[in-house]
A and B are shown apart, each in its own frame.
Chain A
Amino acid sequence: MNGPRFPVLSRLLHWLMALMILAMLFIGIGMVSSLGDYHWLLSIHRPLGIAILVLVAVRLANRQINPPPPLPADMPAPLRVAAHASHIVLYGLMFAVPLVGWAMLSAARAPIVLYGTLELPPILPQDVMVYAWLREAHTVLALALFAVFLLHLAAALLHALVFRDGVWGSMASPRGGRGTA
């Protein structure tokens, strides 16, 4: 089978970010309910979040340069709409969750230490009420990201196991090149 595939760079970025985001969601939910692991999880959470923010920007740029392959011609319109809409929401949340995290620490006037002496500047003035609001938004948006991730994973598995239409292979194939449409 040699159906259309995502470019290699797009596949690499996708699977790298999939791992990072899944790890990040588990670190996030784990650290807010753990006393003993809170500190070391938080020390991973901040640099990993910023790395995701940088990578999602790289990925959006790559998507303009290397557009995804077309969806199968026989895919029904409602599924196409769902696919496009869920990707817009995914990208929106991949930007929003780390940005809100950075902004909330800024509003709390907490140092945003990535590693050693490497710190990020604040992006908002100090205002604890704004912090409280953004802190809540960070949780809500992260839970929304987890929900959309589950939908995305379910859809990918349905493409692979039920529809068998080549969409799974277009992202999961280990082969080089873009394949043939």
Chain B
Amino acid sequence: MTLKKSAHGRYWPWPPGPGVLAGLGATGLVIAGVAGAFAYTGGLLSPGALTQTRIIDRFQAINGVHPGFRRNHAKGVCVTGTFASNGLGARLSRAAVFAPGSVPVIGRFAVGIGKPFLPDNGTEVRSLALSFRPAGGEEWRTGMNDIPVFPVKDAEGFYALMAASAADPGTGKPDPARMKDFLAAHPETARALALIRARPFSTGFANASYNGLDAFRFVDAAGRSTPVRWSMVALDPFVAQTPPPAGARDPNYLFDDLVARLDAGPLRYRFVVTVGQPGDPTGDATLPWPAGRQQVDAGTLTLDHVEAEGPGNCRDINYDPLVLPDGIAASDDPLLSARSAAYSVSFTRRAGEPKTPSEVQPPPARPAAADLPKTGGEP
């Protein structure tokens, strides 16, 4: 039988000679190499590595899945107001928000736990998240807590602490032996928790002060970079919550008190920038900076309106700490990129889920006296 060249010629090289086989083999190798590198980059070949997906999965394993809610700081309420910059911050940062003047702010008070229907006295950490919105863009978002330092220095520590402090399914309480093991392996957390516990919590949201915890860098108009940490310091006098409230209190007492306080008048906070010195740790949020660092009071936050989470308000904002304007930049703190990554997973999951009304439902705002109908009287 004689071999006849195929009608397709060079496009159907049959039977394949050594050159064709080598070409097919080389093509296969290149494709397998590129596909393998892609899989490696996507983490498919390292299933043990800690990723943003695994962090949020652990939140869900511990707290359950509550569709439509944040995976952490799940119980909260929206507030709005303005930030009035006095211009002093502009010496450190060229961000639009620090130019003299006023910018609108959309904020959110919350308690630091992943269960949206938990009574307030089952929580410790309170948080204030803010989105500053100058007219020309350059939005700035920050999430702050009323603790002096963060309990862990990196995502791996956070992930392990979540497991160590989770309630044991048998007893309903955290297993002290696991926490002891964790603290032995993480002395920085033991030191940070001592600092956190040394200071009493405030009686409510209104008289708490909120700290950014992570270090950032302010960049001025000349390009000079300064390490900073920041805080929102309440003008309402601090009142210590001692002893912690017993279980009999109203389950939403923190939020009810906040609404009542806002009924009496706007809440005000001083925005205080602490200026780091060379050698101050910027890459470890468990370490406080030495006392006596220069502090710059850059303006006043005024919050005058509270409303339940709903479409288009604070509910739909991802308070990603790395949504930063030009003039504020990330430090070398590894928590920042990890928070940004994990918040994105939490936001994406809850965005696509059906929404349940929040446990926190402030009564609709009463119109100010000037806005009342001239004819008077309730309808």
A interface with B by C-beta (< 8 Å)? 25-26, 29-40, 42, 74-76, 79, 108-111, 116-117, 119, 126, 128-129, 131-133, 135-136, 146, 150, 153-154, 157-158, 160-165
C-alpha gap A26/B51 in the complex (Å)? 16
Chain B 68-92 near chain A by CB (<8 Å), digits 1 or 0? 0000000000000000000000000
Report the minimum CB–CB distance from A83 to chain B (whole Å). Answer: 12
Interface residues on B, range: 35 or more
* Alpha-carbon distance between A169 and B51 when the two chains are bound, in angstroms: 43
Is B317's CB within 8 Å of the partner chain A?
A: yes
Q: Which of B8, B22, B352 contacts A133 (CB 8 A)?
A: B352
Q: Give the shortest distance, in Å, between A134 (CB) and chain B (any CB).
A: 10
Instruction: Assess whether B348 is in contact with A135, with CB atoms less than 8 Å apart.
Output: yes
- Asked if residues B348 and A132 are in contact (CB atoms below 8 Å), the reply is yes
Task: Name the one of B11, B334, B350 contacting A79, with C-beta atoms under 8 angstroms.
Answer: B11
Contact call A29/B341, Cβ cutoff below 8 A: no
- Does B347 contact A35, Cβ atoms closer than 8 Å? no
Contact A132 B351 (CB under 8 A): yes
Residue of A nearest to B330 (CB): A39
6 contacts between A and B (CB under 8 A): A33-B42, A36-B337, A38-B338, A39-B337, A76-B8, A117-B137
- Whether B352 contacts A116 by the Cβ 8 Å rule is no
B318:A108 contact, CB within 8 angstroms: yes
In the complex where A35-B50, A154-B27, A162-B20 touch, is A30 in contact with B341 (Cβ < 8 A)? no
B64 in the interface (beta carbon within 8 A): no
Chain B nearest Cβ from A74, distance in angstroms: 6
| B361 is an interface residue with CB less than 8 A from chain A | no
The distance in angstroms between the C-alpha atoms of A108 and B23, with both chains bound, is 47
Per a CB cutoff under 8 Å, which of B323, B334, B352 touches A110? Answer: B323
Q: What distance in Å separates the Cβ of A88 from its nearest Cβ neighbour in chain B? A: 21
Assembled-state Cα–Cα distance A118/B344 (Å)? 22
If the complex has contacts A39-B330, A150-B35, are A126 and B337 also in contact, measured as CB distance less than 8 A?
no
Q: Are B337 and A38 in contact (CB under 8 A)?
A: yes
Q: Inside 8 A of B320's CB, which chain A residues have their CB?
A: 110
B357 CB within 8 Å of chain A:
no
Q: CB-CB < 8 A to B245: which residues of A?
A: none
- Kindly list chain A residues whose C-beta atoms are within 8 Å of the C-beta of B338: 35-36, 38
Which partner residue on chain B sits nearest A117 by CB separation? B326
C-alpha spacing A160/B49, complex, angstroms: 39
Give chain A residues whose Cβ lies under 8 Å from the Cβ of B137. Answer: 111, 117, 119
Is B248 in the interface zone, CB < 8 Å from A?
Answer: no
Chain A, Cβ-Cβ closest to B141: A111
Q: Min CB distance, A19 to chain B, in Å?
A: 13
Interchain nearest-CB distance for B131 vs A (Å) = 10
A108 near B26: Cβ-Cβ < 8 Å: no
Query: How long is the Cα–Cα vector from A129 to B325 in the complex, in angstroms?
Result: 26
B residues 318-363 touching A (CB-CB < 8 Å): 318, 320, 322-323, 325-326, 330, 334, 336-338, 340-342, 344, 347-348, 350-353
A-chain residues with CB within 8 Å of residue B10 when the two chains form the complex:
74, 163-165
B52→A35 contact, CB < 8 A: yes
Cα A165 to Cα B10 with chains together (Å):
8
Residue in B closest to A132 when the chains form the complex, CB atoms: B352
Q: Smallest Cβ distance from B309 to chain A, in angstroms?
A: 12
Which residues 258-289 of B sit at the A interface, judged by CB distance below 8 A?
none
Q: Are B341 and A38 in contact (CB under 8 A)?
A: yes
- Complex contact A109–B337 (CB within 8 A): no
Residues in chain A near residue B316, CB distance under 8 A? 108-109, 126, 128
Nearest chain-A residue to B325 (Cβ)? Answer: A117
Which residue on chain B has the smallest CB distance to residue A156? B27
Chain B nearest Cβ from A24, distance in angstroms: 12
